[in-house]
Amino acid sequence: MTKDFSLEAWRVIFLNALFQGGRLTVGAISSLYFLQQGFSLGEFAQLKSIQAVIFLAFDIPIGLFLTWIGSYRSMLISTIFGFLGAVGYLISTNLGSFMISEAFIALSLSIWPPSMGAYCMAVLKPNEGKKGVVERYFHTGDAIANISIVLAGVCGAWLYQSSIYLPYLAFAMIYLLAASLLLKKPPPEVHEIISNRKNRLSFNFGALRKIWPFILMMCATQFAFQPILHYWQPFFKDQFQATTFDISIVFVAYSLTMSGTSSIYAFLNKFSFFHHPLVPISLGAFASLYFFGLSSSPSYVSALILFSFLFAFVNIVQMAASILIQKRVSDEERINCSKQTSFIARIAMLISLTLFGFLSRLSLPIDRIFFIYGAISLVAFTFLGITAFAYSLRKETLAQKT
């Protein structure tokens, strides 16, 4: 596998590992840190909804801007925004200042995935004709990023024991390191490719027609991801009286599970069967069942196992949908199309966060809320599976007639 990827391709994997690990240095303690400042769970939901608002308001304008300045510079800007957000969390004293800091982090998260994805496709340009190489590259990168997340999360939880501020300080320092590495110019052959993409500003919603099934997949994934992404810490604390150490174990478990499943999925992508959209859709439907098990889990250990696989499977579906989109759009459309897709998916994210806040205000316990999300996700992925199957059948019938 190593020979398929250039040195620059591995450098991007390392940069992504820094980016993902840096922000998730606070992954095991972010809600605890905020709640320890004297805020409520409702205010935490309000804080996280800033992400959805930022994504909805700025996704398409950001896509146009990033297309203009290029994917590599966009990655640098993303790390700078993340650094400012981490510093903001360190010095914030009221909800307003936390929201500004969260806005910087949201901008960072909004910029990095499409920019890195577009830059990776430029780096992988010589490999485009090799079957399965692009899929293996992204899933391998995801597996390595998840190992980085484990190490960063463990360090963050350990640092939190000494001082609640140290994890955010580490977050800021890692992003500063990533920004300094991004000051290095890309190799000449890659620079030529990304330079040719610059200044081609397009606002082409027509390009979305050929990827609409994958947009729906992203929407379903974003909806399902929100409760497990933002509210797993309160869930374990409320259901099993989990300590900070117990929560750090959960973080390590789901990160290692994500890394392992991503590695296996990267290997399986050598077989053409796993390139079919029905595979990640079926996996999404299967993952939805884990919500039911999690909501009725009798013990901390069983909840830990179920949650780890739920998180890992949803992550694979999201990654697979992103790769399917990247491969079906042209170089010039890639960043714009990714941001337009992201904009639509963020609507599902906002609906999910709003629904969670509404159900919380009804005083429903978190386990019951997880059960409701499992039912909705199962219906959504089942519908997607039927639609994708019908679409494939129609294409096959048309091909036979031709």
* pLDDT tens profile 44-78: 777 877 777 777 777 667 666 766 777 888 899 99
User: How buried is 244 (Cβ within 10 angstroms: 0-12 exposed, 13-18 middle, 19+ buried)?
Assistant: middle
- Is residue 348 within 8 Å of residue 222, measured between CB atoms? yes
78: amino acid identity, one letter? S
Instruction: Compute the distance between CA of residue 360 and CA of residue 136 in angstroms, rounded to an integer.
Output: 40
pLDDT digits (tens, 9 = 90+) for 361-374: 788 888 888 889 88
Q: For residue 181, what are the CA distances in angstroms to 9, 73, 113, 127, 333?
A: 14, 12, 18, 25, 27
What DSSP line would sit under 169-229, residue for residue? HHHHHHHHHHHHHTTSPPPHHHHHHHHHHTT-----GGGGGGGHHHHHHHHHHHHHHHHHH
Q: What DSSP element (H or E) covers 311?
A: helix 300-328
pLDDT at res. 17 = 93
Q: Tell me which residues of the chain have a pLDDT lower than 50.
A: 1-2, 198-201
- Those residues with Cβ within 8 angstroms of residue 288's Cβ, 6 or more apart along the chain or in another chain: 224, 374, 377, 378, 380, 381
Pair 152, 22: CB distance under 8 Å: yes
Looking at residue 321, its amino acid is A
| Location of structure tokens 């398409």 | 60
Q: Mind listing the domains of the chain with CATH numbers?
A: 2-401 (1.20.1250.20)
Residues 6+ apart with CB under 8 A from 281: 217, 317, 381, 384, 385, 388
In 198-333, beta strands by DSSP E: none
Cα–Cα dist 203/197, whole Å: 15
Quick one: pLDDT at residue 174?
95
How far apart, in whole angstroms, are the C-alpha atoms of residue 312 and residue 306? 10
Q: For residue 89, what pLDDT is reported?
A: 94
What is the model's pLDDT at position 13?
Answer: 92
Q: Is the overall model pTM greater than 0.85, yes or no? A: no
From CA 220, how far away is CA 384, in angstroms rounded? 9
SS3 assignment, position 363: coil
- b/e sequence 65-92, b meaning 16+ C-beta within 10 Å: bbbeebbbbbbbbbbbbbbbbbbbbeeb
